[in-house]
Amino acid sequence: MPPARHDRHSVIACALRLLDEVGLPDLSMRRLSTELDVQPSALYWHFPNKQALLAGVADRILEAVPEPDSSAAPADVAHAIRDALLTYRDGAEVVMSSYALRLGAARAQRALAASLAPVSPVQEDAARTPLADAVFEFILGHATLLQQRMHAQSIGAVEADAEDPAALATEVFESGIRAMTGLRAVRPPA
């Protein structure tokens, strides 16, 4: 039987599926290689190291975020990013570790910056701004903590909140986003 054949795309797809099934702590190169019916060392033909593979996974997770659009409401863009991060187990932590290397999040960041920029139709593709970066950092921190908490609860490591934890988290998210983007919902005076 010839060895299995793969490319970067199929490896990333498998890694994303495995991430969602077992979580980031159990997503090892060895486990992934078993899933792909391949020796661990085979993965290093496709990626220089695990970090690079995770950057590819992060990219895929954020592909669900709409293209930059200066007419989009900042709060909607923020929600789209949060939803994308929460779609896969530990998705936020994966994106966070890759974002530190400035990988995988460029599109999401530009989408935020565009929605937050003072509206001027000429420059559709706004550069990063301090506030847009801050909003993105808030979303990443929030979603990462939420997912870690969800895992801790499933393990029983922490007692569940009295109220629905997802609902509580959403309330926290809303109040943060409202504070950070609320002012920009109204076009600033010229």
Cβ-proximal residues to 165 (8 Å cutoff; 6+ apart), any chain: 149, 150, 153
Is 151 a binding residue for DNA by CB under 7 A? The answer is no
165-185 helix and 74-87 helix, angle to the nearest 10 degrees: 150
CB of 10 to its own copies, least distance (A): 26
Q: Does 166 bind its own copies (CB under 8 A)?
A: no
Residue 161 — φ and ψ, nearest 5°?
-65, 155
Query: CA 157 from chain center: how many Å?
Result: 25
Give the Cα separation of 115 and 87 in Å (integer). Answer: 22
Binding status of residue 140 toward its own copies by CB under 8 A: yes
Q: Which stretch binds its own copies (CB under 8 A): 14-22, 32-40, 119-127, 179-187?
A: 179-187
User: Residue 72 has which token pair?
Assistant: 């989009």
48 is an interface residue for DNA by CB under 7 A: yes
Q: Of 11-19, 27-35, 59-67, 100-108, which part binds its own copies (CB under 8 A)?
A: 100-108
Q: Least separation, in Å, of the C-beta of 53 and its own copies?
A: 15
CA distance 33 to 119: 48
Which one of 106, 152, 160, 166 is in contact with its own copies (CB under 8 A)? Answer: 152
Report the residue number, 106 or 179, with the smaller CB distance to its own copies. 179
x/- map, 18-37, DNA, by CB under 7 A: --------x-xxxx-----x
In contact, 140 and 85? CB cutoff 8 Å: yes
Task: Enumerate binding residues for DNA (CB under 7 A).
Answer: 3-7, 26, 28-31, 37-42, 44-46, 48-51
